[in-house]
Amino acid sequence: MARVLSGVQPSGALHLGNYLGAIRSWVAHQHDHDAFYCVVDLHALTVDVDPADLRARTLDAVIDLVAAGLDPEVCTLFVQSHVPEHPRLTWLLECTASMGELRRMTQFKDKGAGNEGVRVGLFTYPVLMAADILLYDSDRVPVGDDQRQHLELARDLAQRFNFRYGDVFTVPEAAVPATGARVMDLQEPTRKMSKTGGTPLGTVQMLDSPEEIDRKVKKAVTDTDGEVRFDPEAKPGLSNLLELLAAATDRTPDEVATGYQRYGDLKRDLSEALVELLRPVRERRAELAADPGAVSAILAAGAAKAGAVASATYRRAAEAMGLVPAG
Ligand code: AQP
């Protein structure tokens, strides 16, 4: 079976962009792939974070992913820092990557370039992400559009490493969904919906109540020309709503647009569709909250399964580079 790997940062509450861009396809892939999914807590250390918040968000993210449909009996669900080969392989890959290619990463440019106080970890984050992927010999990596460039770097590093040291890594492919790959903030539709950088009213959280979803969709920013048409350049707000309804109902945004004359009708149907889409997640989350002990068993099993695969790959890479094994 082909292998998939993907991860989510515990940097805040999961939102509709995370769900449609990534998590929904993780749930589907767990049945037809050998699937590894992780909560990437080491990535969350690249910015200032309160330790108690990080602890709580990491555990919440694990439970939220199970609520979203991941079955820890079917896939391998783990926390990145529980597998020490992630930072170990990162070092080997940092000695393969160049400063120039990391400087070109747009996420770093947006979040930290030009700021002398920015953490080194934010700069090298894409290399840690490459290690996350390459450790599991991943064939496919289901991600939203914002992670495409980082995935391209992982492919480049794998190819360069294999060329220099022999055939060690599987070169992964990105799997970006046709719709929902770039969900925009409902209040500022030229910015992506985000855990940390979005507006509260423009961010639909995966666990929002039906009333909250309805309020946010009703207040979504559109435009004044009144014509329902999919045109992300000229009509970013309305196009985002069309794309969301398309993603929620398995259609294309253009197909959705043909069914509407008025923005209000589109908003009403979108609100209903999102409430239904997220209802099972919210309901399962409430059930899981009643069994807080379950998460430690999930994490122990996930760390053991992930660790077995990761340590074999790390050993292969270290030996190929000339590092002498301990025994
Ligand atoms: N707006 C989005 N639309 C579609 N997909 C998205 N993803 C994130 N935002 C959107 C996808 O969700 C997966 C997990 O994301 P992440 O935790 O790695 O963080 P991120 O990509 O940096 O996005 P966030 O949620 O906005 O977090 P912060 O605010 O911490 O930067 C990824 O596959 C991502 O593509």
Residue closest via CA to ligand 1's atom 12 equals 18
Is the overall model pTM greater than 0.85, yes or no?
A: yes
Best residue among 6, 18, 184, 193 to mutate for probing ligand 1's pocket (most ligand atoms within 8 Å of CB) is 18
Per-residue pLDDT of the chain (327 residues; tens, 9 = 90+): 999 999 999 999 999 999 999 999 999 999 999 999 999 999 999 989 999 999 999 999 999 999 999 999 999 999 999 999 999 999 999 999 999 999 999 888 787 767 888 889 999 999 999 999 999 999 999 999 989 999 999 999 999 999 999 999 999 999 999 998 999 999 999 999 999 989 999 999 999 999 999 999 999 999 999 999 999 999 999 999 999 999 999 999 999 999 999 999 999 999 999 999 999 999 999 998 878 788 999 999 999 999 999 999 999 999 999 999 987
Report CA 324 to chain centroid distance, whole Å.
Answer: 35
Q: How far is the CA of 203 from the centre of ligand 1 (A)?
A: 12
- Evaluate whether 149 touches 173 at the Cβ level (below 8 Å): no
The CA-to-CA distance between both ends of the chain, in Å, stands at 32
Distance (Å, whole) CA 23 – CA 156: 25
Q: Which two tokens stand for residue 204?
A: 């639909």
Q: Active-site residue 235, yes or no?
A: no
The CB density around residue 14, as the number of other CB atoms within 10 Å, is 25
Question: Known catalytic residue: 216?
Answer: no
CA of 72 to the centre of ligand 1 (A): 22
Q: Is 192 a catalytic residue?
A: yes
